[in-house]
Amino acid sequence: MLSLTVFLPLAAALVLLAWRGLPDAAVRWLWVAVSGADLALVAALWATYDGPGIGHETDRPWIPGAGAGYHIGVDGLSLPLLALTATVFLACAVYSLRGQRDIRRFAALFLALQTTCLGLFAALDLILFFLFFDLSIVGMYLVIAGWGHGEQAARSALKFFLYTFVGSLALLLGFIGLYAASDPHTFDITELTADPPLQGGGAAGPLVLLAIAVGLAVKTPTFPFHTWLPPAHTDAPAAGSAVLAAILLKMGTYGFVRIAMPILPEDWRAHAMVFVAVGVVSALYGALVALAQSSFKRMVAYTSVNHMGYVLLALGAAGFIAGTDEQARSTAVTGAVVQMVSHGLITGALFLLAGVLMDRGGTYEMDAWGGLAGPMPRFAALTAVAAFAGLGLPGFSGFIAEFQIFAGSLGAVPVATALALLGILVTAGLFLWALHRLFLGARRGPKPVGADLRPAELLSVAPLLALSLLIGVLPRWLLDTVEPAARAVVGLVSR
C-alpha cells in the first residue's frame, strides 16, 4: 500500500499529460480527487502502522551491483511528514479550483512533485533518497519558471535550481563516502544505521558529515545558505510557495534526523555545537530580517529560516550526551519533528493567504493595503489566526513544538537556548506589525480590494489552521507516534 501511496499521484500526472482533450474543470476535480485519495491512503497507513520500528516495508533489488535497492517504509519520523505532504498538496489542489492558467500541465506537475516528496520521506535507501531529492528540485524549478509572476521569475527559479543542485551534489558525495566506508558496501539506510561505517575517529567521518550537512542545509535552508529562498518564494505562485515552504524545506531537516544523526553518531556528537550555533544564528537572523520586510510574502519566507533554526538547535542539542539525560534529548528531537509538521501547516496557510493579496491587488507590499479587516473579514480572520499560530501562541501546534524544543535543549545548551528564545519575541512583533499594516487603519493606495475569500480559498486554508489547532489542543495522537522514534534516534546518537 505504501508504493501505491507514493506513485498514485505520478500515475494521475501521466494520465493528465496524455489526455489532452480533458476539460479544465475535469482536470481540476481529478487533481482534487487524486490528492484526496492519497491522503486517505496515508491515513490508512497511519491507522495500520504497528510501530515502533519500520512498518509497511518493501525491499526489492534495484541496482544490486551498487548495493542500492528499492527499499521504502515508514516509522514515527516519516509518517507525520507523509501526512503533512498529502494534506498540503490537497490544500493546493483545492486552492487551484479558483482558476489557474494551463491547469492541465500545472496539475500534472504538482502531482509528479507530490510523488517525489512522498517517495523521499518513505525512502530507506540513500540512492532512492537522492533520486527523489533531486527530482523535487527539477519539479519546483518548473513551477517557479513556468507559473511564477514578475519579471524575475525565471532568474529566481534558476537561482533556486543552482543553489539546491550544488547542495545535492555535496549530498551525493557524502552518500558515496558512506558507501565506500561500509563493509559490505551498501546504500541501505537501515543497514548503515545498524552498523555505522565511520566509527572510530579519523578525518573521513567529519568530511562525510560536512558534505551531507551542506547538502541538507542548503535545502532546509539555514544561514548562510538561505539566499535562494526569498526570491524563489516571492516569484513563485501561491501553491508553489506553499509546497516549497511546507514540504521541500523539510527534506533537509528530515535528512538530518534520518541520515546524519543515526549513521554518523560519533561525528554528530563531536560537532553538535556547530549545529547548535547555526540553528541559533538562523533563528535570530531569520526573525530580524523578516521584521525589516515590506513585502508580506518575503516576511513569511524569512520566518521559515527562523523556524528551521529552532529545529537545528534541537537536533544539535540532542548530540550533547554529557550532563544531559535521555528524556531531555528525546524531548528535543520530538519537538523538532513536531515543528516540521507545525511549520508546514501554518506557513503553507500563510503563503496561500499571501496569494490572495496578489490575486486581488497585484502586490504583496503591506503598505499598499491597510484597512482590509472591514471589506475582507474572512481573509483578515484567517490571516490573524495563522499569524498567532506562527508566533507560537498556546493552543496551536507551534507552541507544542517550540516548548519541547526549548525544554529539551535548555539543559544541554542553556545560553544558546536563551538566545534562540529572543527569536520568539521578534517573531511576535513582526506578525503583529504585519497585521496592523494590512488590516487596521484607513485604506491606502489605489489597489482594488475585490471580493473576500472565495470558497476554494477558504476550504484550502481553514483545514490547515484547524489541524494546527487540533495538534495544539490535543497533541497526544501525534506525540504517541513521534516519541518512540525520537527515543530511538537519541539512542542511536548515544552509541
pLDDT of residue 323: 62
Contacting residues for 133 by C-beta, under 8 A, at least 6 apart: 120, 168, 171, 219, 251, 255
Q: Is-contact 365 294, C-beta < 8 A?
A: yes
Stated as kind and residue range, the H or E segment containing 67 is none
pLDDT of residue 9: 95
Q: Is-contact 39 33, C-beta < 8 A?
A: no
Instruction: Please check whether residue 110 lies inside any domain of the structure.
Output: no
pLDDT of residue 447: 61
Instruction: Please check whether residue 199 lies inside any domain of the structure.
Output: no
Q: Is-contact 483 490, C-beta < 8 A?
A: no
pLDDT of residue 51: 75
Instruction: Please check whether residue 197 lies inside any domain of the structure.
Output: no
Pull the grid cell for residue 109. Answer: 506537475
Strand partners, 58: 72
Instruction: Please check whether residue 21 lies inside any domain of the structure.
Output: no
Domain count, the chain: 1
**Rounded distance between C-alpha atoms, residue 200 and residue 92, angstroms:** 47
Instruction: Please check whether residue 94 lies inside any domain of the structure.
Output: no
Q: How far is CA 352 from the centre of its chain?
A: 15
Pull the grid cell for residue 220. Answer: 532546509
pLDDT of residue 371: 82
Instruction: Please check whether residue 160 lies inside any domain of the structure.
Output: no
Residue 445's SS3 state is coil
Instruction: Kindly report, residue by residue over 356-382, the tens digit of the pLDDT.
Output: 888 887 788 888 888 888 888 999 999
**DSSP of 201-261, one letter per residue?**
-SSHHHHHHHHHHHHHHHHTT-TTS-TTHHHHHHHS-HHHHHHIIIIIHHHHHHHIIIIIH
Per residue of the chain (495 residues), give pLDDT as tens: 899 999 999 999 999 988 888 888 888 999 999 999 999 999 999 999 987 889 899 989 888 877 788 999 999 999 999 999 999 999 999 998 877 778 899 999 999 999 999 999 999 999 999 999 999 999 999 999 888 887 788 888 898 898 899 989 999 999 999 999 988 889 999 999 998 888 876 788 899 999 999 999 998 888 888 888 888 888 889 899 999 999 999 999 999 999 999 999 999 999 999 999 999 999 999 999 999 888 899 999 999 999 999 999 999 999 887 567 888 899 999 999 999 999 999 999 999 999 888 888 778 888 888 888 888 899 999 999 999 999 889 999 999 999 999 999 998 899 999 999 999 999 999 999 999 888 887 776 556 566 888 899 999 999 999 999 999 999 999 999 999 999 999 999 987
Q: CB neighbours (10 Å) of residue 23?
A: 10
Instruction: Please check whether residue 12 lies inside any domain of the structure.
Output: no
224 prior amide bond cis, ω within 30: yes
Instruction: Please check whether residue 379 lies inside any domain of the structure.
Output: yes
Q: Is the pTM of this model over 0.75?
A: yes
Q: Is-contact 413 312, C-beta < 8 A?
A: no
Contacting residues for 341 by C-beta, under 8 A, at least 6 apart: 80, 81, 83, 84, 397, 401, 471, 478
**Rounded distance between C-alpha atoms, residue 335 and residue 248, angstroms:** 19
Owning domain of residue 427: 271-495
Q: Is-contact 342 395, C-beta < 8 A?
A: no
**Rounded distance between C-alpha atoms, residue 40 and residue 263, angstroms:** 32
